[in-house]
């Protein structure tokens, strides 16, 4: 049986399957004119007593004049998230460390192309553990193999504070109209 994306492999997922493991908490849809970032706030107050893990599911594009743009997740306003990324184009593989980026998504230079991202924040409300992130992102920008990218990343924020806010941002450009970012939660066991 294949292992689904996301935190299903984490203890507590059970045999119920991916459909029963997550609950939609909030969705931000980007309208006309774009939006600089998406913020989910009051997370510890609204969800801390019910959910153990959080997951961001995004279908996004930026206004940046680039084919691919890095996506960033800031926990509690911090940009000090340390990540490791493995990314491949089908023609080459690259590993990168030390940046606060969790993957690559579509930029504005290819019309009607959106990138996809699944980003897990494990033990988001646990106050005895540092915050851990893992993500899978991808974009298909055209026939040139260098423009098609899949990225697997992991990272952490050296903080045991509960997660009160998440800011999902692009390192350049705003989120373009039609982008959608949703927040899901997995209940505590």
**Least confident span in 3-7, 74-78, 123-127, 174-178:** 3-7
Which pLDDT value is given to residue 111?
73
Q: Tell me, yes or no, whether 76 lies in a domain.
A: yes
Can you read off the two tokens belonging to residue 188?
């505590």
Biggest CA pair distance of the chain: 47
In-domain check, residue 8:
no
3-state DSSP call for residue 45? helix
Asked if 16 contacts 147 with a C-beta cutoff of 8 angstroms, the reply is no
Do the strands 68-75 and 115-122 form a parallel or antiparallel pair, or are they unpaired?
unpaired
Residue 13 lies in a domain: no
CATH at residue 153: 2.60.120
Tens-digit pLDDT profile for residues 122-153: 999 999 999 999 999 888 876 665 668 888 88
| pLDDT for the residue 96 | 82
In a domain, 6, yes or no: no
What's the confidence (pLDDT) of residue 73? 87
- Convert the pLDDT of each residue in 44-86 to its tens digit: 999 999 999 999 999 998 888 877 778 888 889 887 667 788 8
3's tokens: 């292992």
Distance CA 144, CA 23 (A): 37
Does 151 reside within a domain? yes
When pLDDT is cut at 50, 70 and 90, the band that residue 7 belongs to is: very low
Laid out side by side, the sheet with 166-170 consists of 37-40, 166-170, 68-75, 101-106
Query: Which residues have a Cβ under 8 Å from the Cβ of 16 and sit 6 or more positions away?
Result: none
Please give the tally of structural domains in the chain.
Answer: 1
Would you say residue 14 lies in a domain? Answer: no
Range of the structural domain that residue 155 is part of: 24-187
Residue 10: inside a domain? no
Return the HEC string of 149-186: EEEEEEEEECCCCCCCCEEEEECCCCECCCCEEEEEEE
Segment 174-182 shows an average pLDDT of 93
Is the Cβ–Cβ distance between 30 and 176 less than 8 Å?
A: yes
User: Is residue 162 assigned to a domain?
Assistant: yes
């Amino acid at each position: 049986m294949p292992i689904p994306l996301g935190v299903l492999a984490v203890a507590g997922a059970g045999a119920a399957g991916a459909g029963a493991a997550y609950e939609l908490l909030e969705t931000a849809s980007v309208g006309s004119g774009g939006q600089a970032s998406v913020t989910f706030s009051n997370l510890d107050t609204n969800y801390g007593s019910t959910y153990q893990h959080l997951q961001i599911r995004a279908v996004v594009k930026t206004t940046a004049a680039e084919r691919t743009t890095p996506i960033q997740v800031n926990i509690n306003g911090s940009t000090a998230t340390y990540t490791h990324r493995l990314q491949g184009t089908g023609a080459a593989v690259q590993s990168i460390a030390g940046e606060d980026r969790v993957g690559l998504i579509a930029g504005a230079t290819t019309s009607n192309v959106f990138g996809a991202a699944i980003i897990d924040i494990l033990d988001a409300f646990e106050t005895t553990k540092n915050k851990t992130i893992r993500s899978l992102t991808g974009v298909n920008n055209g026939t040139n193999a260098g423009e098609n990218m899949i990225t697997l990343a992991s990272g952490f924020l050296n903080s045991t504070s509960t997660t009160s806010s998440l800011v999902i941002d692009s390192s350049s450009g705003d989120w373009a109209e039609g982008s959608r970012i949703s927040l899901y939660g997995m209940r505590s066991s």
